[in-house]
């Protein structure tokens, strides 16, 4: 730790501008593991050579919590010293003397590894997690992604306890050893950075499938799980097969390995990890059958299996030069998994639903991040702990930056760009600049190519840009002029911003909702449908000609850029867009704008009695959506979902979370009662989806039926009706799949009905042996609507439940995060008890698992926006955490950034 702290003992920031190539290269690594939970021995034999392009320096190898037993250079005992956690060797052979062998023998203790980084044990099985800097917890190494080596790995362990021994690449040898032990030797045919190393050892079984690629090559696909879970692997395997086929069909990127393995573990810090040929997954993103997993689970599994598989090219074949380039692989791979899921959709409506869902994540999670103390560019300039930068900005905003490139060069042009990128950089560790350059070079005549240096400001400038648009109709000239001014608020370390390149997809409707042909002033051509305008100046004016009346502009169709659009739409215009916009995204968006407008008015109103929040026009519009036979159920469900409390709060300068909660609740109650008979009909028409399949059409119908039940139980709450709660309980009992069952349970719990208690008890009894379902059981309760401050005591109770364990990240998330990060109405208590609970849990978790603690620490990111008394109480809670001595770098960075500047 010494080297990473300054004189005051504070962690030191790593800066992008300090990047220097390594002083040594590692060409080959030969690892031998003697696996033992209490003391695993690791023999590491490497071939190294000096980097002739770097100044001569000692070799500094990273290590963390290792016991060092031996260091040999070319077979001879070598002199070395420790500098903090680094192992430093002087006097190594010169560049002219060439390669040398370094042998390092260490031990570590996997059973005590609660950080789940490096080598750890989960349910008697060994797993590794090396990204970003976990390999140094396995052996001393140059733990940086630009050092790429060939790996040979031998695993030795007791055969009865650890019958399956896996690592990256191909199995080349296996056999028996004395004393009931056995071994397996794996060779990875590709060079890789150490963060992609993995091993797994334990009692596992696999679903297997052979597939033949376009070129006729055969591959073996395997999904490894614990013995009882084999019946939950079909969907993950199908998703993997689809991923392999899609990447080849869409981008010409084939599977490059004979064998591709996925292994599931129930103890994992994040979703999954793309280790070359041996992806390791959180069970949450592998295991599914209709009895235990919801439609949302099925769809997440498809995305995450796709995501990790697509990393095989975008991440593994071409990797990051340094961790500041993280979005090079993550932004691109999220974009790829989003496109994959869209391409699997049968029709345009399902594609639009997927797009809306992705934008909703961006706006409810990334926009707040970009406006808060942790705001950072897609390519950050500095960090204290890289684990804190696996963020929605790197992932989701990074994906939007890639998507804008596709918009600017077209779908075919983008595919050409991707081909050039992989041709040019295969086997290399590169930068975000290299990626953008390849896409531009493959499309020399594109707007991207023309504006490339400016476009790359998306990588360097943090903050969400705002577009202030204003339209003026000139009846005399039959023209309509749209003025658009862009701006971007200051973010930490960036006071002023330069203009961005912003592709704005636009269409024009007439007052009756028909799409108008479009002609720009000074242009001959007339276009129909959507056009992409490329903004690059701080302010621009676009004039449309040949218009007989003022049009209704449909701006930012498909959410063509990650910006906030301000346009003073009238209610009538929004109603027109909601009823008619041929662009489904903007159709949905119009409904959201109307809902948001009502919410903000209700919040601003001085009266304590805020009902009714929604006007008749809004209710009528929602009724028309529900009754429209041309719209899909999934789309209706999205339109009828009000903007979240978090999203509403983001629009306010000062947030009273209780007021936001109260107003949104009142809106929901109003939708429930005003549309009561429609909800009944919607339920009757959609609740039977036949034999279960997780396809978009039937899952959309289940989602809408679930929403209807929720509103029907909510309406029953105020009317005293017992019919619908009774029906809901029956539905809960009879349900043929988890989606229907969980939606029914949720309807009872969130309406606070007395039947909820018996349903919850029954649910626990049925699923007591299904960890992922028990997570849902915890999460539903910790996330339930607060009534008179009852949720915090319940959460404390749940933490004493025999099934609770704070060491298991999924379980900790299901209780603690569901309360602190996903239940604002219950968390933001006037008595500050929610914040006190939060600070205690952050400190408790920090000693166990800093990555999980630092995520939880982010729950109060937006504290400075809060109204009193919340603001002072939240600040005090953060300060209490920050004052704790021996905090991890992870949590330290989050809380000090939260306190900075306010
Ligand atoms: N690279 C992984 C992905 O995006 C995620 C990841 C990064 C991760 N660091 C991790 C997963 C640590 C688990 C633990 O797919
Ligand atoms: Zn990823």
The Cα–Cα gap between 513 and 878 comes to 51
For ligand 1, whether the C-beta of 273 sits within 6 Å is yes
Residues 15, 57: contact at Cβ < 8 Å?
A: no
The Cα–Cα gap between 497 and 490 comes to 7
Identify the three-state secondary structure at position 128: strand
**Token pair in block for residue 882:** 């920050």
Q: Is 70 exceeded by the pLDDT of residue 607?
A: no
Flag the least confident range among 138-152, 361-375, 599-613, 704-718. 599-613
Report CA dihedral (700, 701, 705, 708) to the nearest 10 degrees. 60
Residue with tokens 């070395």: 80
Tell me the average pLDDT across 299-326. 99
For atom 11 of ligand 1, the residue with the nearest CA is 270
For residue 283, report the distance from its CA to the centre of ligand 1, in Å.
Answer: 14
Q: Is 90 exceeded by the pLDDT of residue 228?
A: yes
**Token pair in block for residue 259:** 């064998």
The Cα–Cα gap between 102 and 52 comes to 18
Tell me the average pLDDT across 818-843. 98
Q: Is 308 a catalytic residue?
A: yes
For residue 729, report the distance from its CA to the centre of ligand 1, in Å.
Answer: 39
Q: Are strands 67-73 and 76-77 parallel, antiparallel or unpaired?
A: antiparallel
Report CA dihedral (264, 266, 268, 274) to the nearest 10 degrees. 10
Distances (CA, A) of 763 to 1, 292, 691, 752: 47, 11, 22, 16
Ligand 1 pocket test, pick from 129, 286, 305, 389 with the greatest ligand atom count within 8 Å of Cβ, gives 129
The Cα–Cα gap between 349 and 584 comes to 7
Residue 884: band (very low, low, confident or very high) from pLDDT cuts 50, 70, 90: very high
Name the strands in the sheet holding 59-61, side by side, starting at the edge strand that comes first in the sequence: 59-61, 86-89, 81-83
Q: Which atom of ligand 1 lies nearest, measured to the CA of 390? A: 7
Q: Which atom of ligand 1 lies nearest, measured to the CA of 308? A: 15
For ligand 1, whether the C-beta of 131 sits within 6 Å is yes
- Residue 612's pLDDT is 86
Q: Are strands 259-265 and 218-225 parallel, antiparallel or unpaired?
A: parallel
Establish whether the linkage from the previous residue to 612 is cis, with ω within 30° of 0. yes
Question: Who contacts 9 (Cβ-Cβ below 8 Å, separation ≥6)?
Answer: none
Task: Identify the nearest ligand to the CA of 130 by its number.
Answer: 1
Q: Which atom of ligand 1 lies nearest, measured to the CA of 304? A: 15
**Consecutive H or E run containing 675:** none
For residue 501, report the distance from its CA to the centre of ligand 2, in Å.
Answer: 26
- Residue 134's pLDDT is 98
**Nearest Cα residue to 820 out of 797, 806, 841, 803:** 841
- Residue 438's pLDDT is 99
Task: Identify the nearest ligand to the CA of 131 by its number.
Answer: 1
For residue 339, report the distance from its CA to the centre of ligand 2, in Å.
Answer: 15
For ligand 1, whether the C-beta of 26 sits within 6 Å is no
Q: Is 90 exceeded by the pLDDT of residue 215?
A: no
Radius of gyration of the chain (CA): 28
For ligand 1, whether the C-beta of 270 sits within 6 Å is yes
The Cα–Cα gap between 396 and 374 comes to 15
Tell me the average pLDDT across 764-782. 99
Q: Is 80 exceeded by the pLDDT of residue 324?
A: yes
For atom 2 of ligand 1, the residue with the nearest CA is 273
The Cα–Cα gap between 103 and 140 comes to 10
Residue 214: band (very low, low, confident or very high) from pLDDT cuts 50, 70, 90: confident
For atom 9 of ligand 1, the residue with the nearest CA is 131
- Residue 520's pLDDT is 98
Q: Is 70 exceeded by the pLDDT of residue 2?
A: no
For residue 271, report the distance from its CA to the centre of ligand 1, in Å.
Answer: 7
Of 131, 274, 302, 308, which is the active-site residue?
A: 308
What are the tens digits of pLDDT across the range 643-657?
999 999 999 999 999
The Cα–Cα gap between 249 and 239 comes to 15
- Residue 40's pLDDT is 99
Q: Where are the alpha helices (DSSP H) in 233-347?
A: 234-251, 295-310, 326-343
Residue with tokens 């028409």: 685
Q: Is 80 exceeded by the pLDDT of residue 902?
A: no
Identify the three-state secondary structure at position 473: strand
Tell me the average pLDDT across 480-485. 98
Task: Identify the nearest ligand to the CA of 285 by its number.
Answer: 1
Cβ-in-10-Å burial (0-12, 13-18, 19+) of 189 comes to: middle
For ligand 1, whether the C-beta of 269 sits within 6 Å is yes
Q: Are strands 148-158 and 539-544 parallel, antiparallel or unpaired?
A: unpaired
For residue 659, report the distance from its CA to the centre of ligand 2, in Å.
Answer: 37
Q: Which atom of ligand 1 lies nearest, measured to the CA of 271? A: 11
For residue 689, report the distance from its CA to the centre of ligand 1, in Å.
Answer: 36
For ligand 1, whether the C-beta of 265 sits within 6 Å is no
For atom 13 of ligand 1, the residue with the nearest CA is 270
The Cα–Cα gap between 330 and 336 comes to 10
DSSP 826: H
- Residue 256's pLDDT is 97
**Token pair in block for residue 506:** 């636009």
**Consecutive H or E run containing 326:** helix 326-343
For residue 872, report the distance from its CA to the centre of ligand 2, in Å.
Answer: 37
For residue 265, report the distance from its CA to the centre of ligand 1, in Å.
Answer: 14
Rounded to the nearest 5 percent, the helix, strand and coil shares of the chain are 45, 20, 35
**Consecutive H or E run containing 429:** strand 429-430
For ligand 1, whether the C-beta of 385 sits within 6 Å is no
What are the tens digits of pLDDT across the range 792-819?
999 999 999 999 999 999 999 999 999 9
- Residue 387's pLDDT is 98
Tell me the average pLDDT across 824-849. 98
Q: Using CA of residue 791, residue 797, residue 803, residue 808, what is the dihedral sign?
A: positive
The Cα–Cα gap between 669 and 719 comes to 11
Q: Is 90 exceeded by the pLDDT of residue 10?
A: no
List the beta bridge partners of residue 467: 486, 565
User: What number of helices (H) and strands (E) belong to the chain?
Assistant: 31, 32
DSSP 816: I
pTM comes to: 0.98
What are the tens digits of pLDDT across the range 447-478?
999 999 999 999 999 999 999 999 999 999 99
DSSP 655: B
Count the Cβ atoms, other than its own, within 10 Å of residue 61.
Answer: 24
For residue 315, report the distance from its CA to the centre of ligand 2, in Å.
Answer: 8
The Cα–Cα gap between 621 and 613 comes to 15
**Token pair in block for residue 879:** 């300060």
Percent of the chain with pLDDT over 70: 98
For atom 3 of ligand 1, the residue with the nearest CA is 273
Q: Which atom of ligand 1 lies nearest, measured to the CA of 311? A: 15
Q: Is 60 exceeded by the pLDDT of residue 752?
A: yes
The Cα–Cα gap between 772 and 659 comes to 34
Tally the residues of the chain. 902
For ligand 1, whether the C-beta of 396 sits within 6 Å is no
Q: Which atom of ligand 1 lies nearest, measured to the CA of 315? A: 1
For ligand 1, whether the C-beta of 129 sits within 6 Å is yes
Percent of the chain with pLDDT over 90: 97
The Cα–Cα gap between 60 and 44 comes to 16
Q: Is 80 exceeded by the pLDDT of residue 712?
A: yes
Q: Is 60 exceeded by the pLDDT of residue 1?
A: no
Task: Identify the nearest ligand to the CA of 196 by its number.
Answer: 1
Tell me the average pLDDT across 268-287. 99
Report CA dihedral (350, 353, 357, 362) to the nearest 10 degrees. 110
Question: Who contacts 896 (Cβ-Cβ below 8 Å, separation ≥6)?
Answer: 882
Mean pLDDT of the chain, nearest integer: 97
Identify the three-state secondary structure at position 225: strand
The Cα–Cα gap between 149 and 128 comes to 18
For atom 5 of ligand 1, the residue with the nearest CA is 273
Q: Which atom of ligand 1 lies nearest, measured to the CA of 395? A: 4
For atom 7 of ligand 1, the residue with the nearest CA is 131
Residue 611: band (very low, low, confident or very high) from pLDDT cuts 50, 70, 90: confident
The Cα–Cα gap between 228 and 205 comes to 9
For ligand 1, whether the C-beta of 890 sits within 6 Å is no
**Nearest Cα residue to 332 out of 355, 361, 351, 306:** 306
For atom 1 of ligand 1, the residue with the nearest CA is 273
What are the tens digits of pLDDT across the range 14-57?
999 999 999 999 999 999 999 999 999 999 999 999 999 999 99
For atom 15 of ligand 1, the residue with the nearest CA is 273
């Amino acid at each position: 730790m010494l080297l990473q702290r300054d004189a005051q003992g504070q962690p030191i920031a790593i800066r992008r501008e300090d990047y220097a190539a390594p002083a040594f290269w590692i060409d080959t690594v030969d690892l031998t593991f003697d696996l033992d939970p209490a003391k695993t021995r690791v023999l590491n034999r490497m071939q190294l050579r000096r980097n002739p392009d770097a100044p001569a320096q000692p070799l500094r190898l990273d290590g963390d919590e290792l016991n060092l037993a031996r260091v040999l250079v070319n077979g001879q005992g070598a002199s070395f010293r420790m500098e903090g956690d680094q192992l430093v060797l002087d006097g190594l052979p010169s560049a002219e003397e060439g390669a040398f062998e370094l042998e390092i023998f260490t031990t570590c203790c996997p059973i005590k590894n609660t950080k789940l980084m490096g080598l750890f044990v989960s349910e008697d099985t060994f797993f590794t997690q090396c990204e970003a800097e976990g390999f140094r917890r396995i052996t001393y190494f140059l733990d940086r992604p630009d050092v790429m080596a060939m790996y040979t790995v031998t695993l030795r362990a007791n055969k009865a306890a650890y019958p399956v021994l896996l690592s990256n690449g191909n199995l080349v040898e296996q056999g028996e050893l004395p004393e009931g032990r056995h071994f397996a030797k794996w060779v990875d045919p590709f060079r890789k950075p150490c963060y992609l190393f993995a091993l797994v050892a334990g009692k596992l079984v696999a679903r297997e499938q052979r597939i033949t690629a376009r070129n006729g090559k055969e591959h073996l696909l395997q999904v490894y799980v614990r013995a009882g879970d084999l019946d939950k692997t079909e969907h993950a395997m199908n998703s993997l097969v689809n991923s392999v086929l899609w990447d080849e069909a869409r981008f010409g990127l084939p599977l490059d390995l004979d064998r591709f393995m996925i292994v599931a573990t129930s103890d994992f810090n994040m979703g999954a990890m793309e280790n070359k040929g041996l992806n390791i997954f959180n069970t949450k993103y592998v295991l599914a059958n209709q009895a235990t997993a919801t439609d949302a689970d099925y769809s997440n599994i498809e995305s995450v299996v796709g995501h990790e598989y697509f990393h095989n090219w975008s991440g593994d074949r071409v990797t990051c030069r340094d961790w500041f380039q993280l979005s090079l692989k993550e932004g691109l791979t999220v974009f790829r998994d989003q496109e994959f899921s869209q391409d699997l959709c049968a029709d345009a409506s399902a594609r639009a639903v997927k797009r809306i869902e992705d934008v909703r994540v961006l706006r409810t999670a990334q926009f707040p991040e970009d406006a808060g103390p942790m705001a950072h560019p897609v390519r950050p300039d500095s960090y204290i702990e890289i684990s804190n930068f696996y963020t929605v900005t790197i992932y989701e905003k990074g994906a939007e930056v890639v998507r804008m490139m596709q918009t600017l060069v077209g779908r075919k042009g983008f595919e050409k760009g991707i081909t050039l990128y992989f041709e040019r950089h295969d086997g290399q560790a590169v930068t975000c600049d290299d990626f953008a350059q390849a896409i531009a070079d493959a499309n020399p005549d594109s707007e991207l190519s023309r504006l490339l240096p400016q476009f790359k400001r998306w990588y360097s400038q943090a903050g969400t840009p705002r577009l202030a648009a204003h339209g003026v109709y000139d009846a005399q000239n039959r023209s309509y002029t749209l003025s658009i001014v862009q701006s971007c608020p200051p973010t930490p370390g960036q006071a002023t911003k330069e203009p961005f390149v912003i592709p704005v997809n636009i269409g024009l409707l007439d007052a009756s909702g028909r799409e108008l042909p479009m002609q720009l002033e000074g242009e001959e051509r007339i276009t129909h449908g959507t056009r992409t305008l490329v903004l690059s100046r701080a302010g621009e004016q676009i004039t449309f000609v040949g218009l007989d009346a003022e049009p209704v502009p449909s701006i930012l169709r498909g959410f063509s850029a990650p910006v906030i659009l301000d346009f003073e739409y009238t209610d009538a215009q929004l109603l027109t867009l909601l009823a008619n916009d041929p662009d489904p995204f903007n159709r949905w968006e119009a409904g959201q704008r109307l809902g948001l407008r009502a919410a903000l008015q209700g919040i601003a109103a001085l009266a304590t009695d805020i009902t009714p929040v929604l006007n008749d026009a809004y209710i009528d519009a929602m009724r028309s959506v529900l009754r429209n036979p041309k719209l899909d159920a999934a789309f209706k469900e999205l339109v009828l979902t009000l903007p979240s409390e978090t999203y509403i709060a983001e629009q306010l300068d000062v947030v009273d979370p209780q007021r936001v909660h109260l107003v949104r609740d009142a809106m929901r109650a109003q939708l429930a009662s005003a549309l009561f008979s429609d909800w009944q009909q919607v339920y009757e028409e959609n609740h039977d989806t036949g034999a279960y399949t997780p396809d978009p059409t039937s899952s959309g119908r289940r989602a809408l039926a679930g929403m209807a039940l929720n509103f029907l139980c909510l309406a029953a709450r105020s009317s005293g009706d017992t019919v619908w709660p009774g029906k809901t309980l029956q539905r809960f009992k009879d349900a043929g799949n988890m989606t229907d069952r969980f939606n029914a349970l949720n309807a009872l719990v969130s309406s606070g009905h007395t039947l909820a208690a018996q349903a919850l008890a029954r649910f626990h009894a049925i699923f007591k042996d299904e960890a992922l379902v028990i997570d849902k059981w915890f999460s539903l309760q910790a996330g339930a609507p607060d009534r008179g401050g009852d949720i915090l005591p319940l959460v404390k109770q749940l933490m004493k439940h025999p099934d609770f364990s704070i060491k298991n990240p999924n379980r900790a998330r299901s209780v603690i995060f569901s309360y602190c990060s996903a239940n604002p109405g219950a968390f933001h208590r006037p008595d500050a008890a929610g914040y006190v609970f939060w600070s205690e849990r952050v400190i408790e978790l920090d000693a166990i698992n800093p990555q999980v603690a630092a995520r939880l620490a982010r729950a109060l990111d937006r504290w400075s926006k809060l109204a009193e008394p919340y603001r002072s109480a939240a600040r005090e809670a953060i300060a209490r955490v920050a004052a704790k001595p021996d905090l991890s770098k992870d949590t330290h960075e989050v809380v000090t950034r939260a306190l900075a500047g306010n």
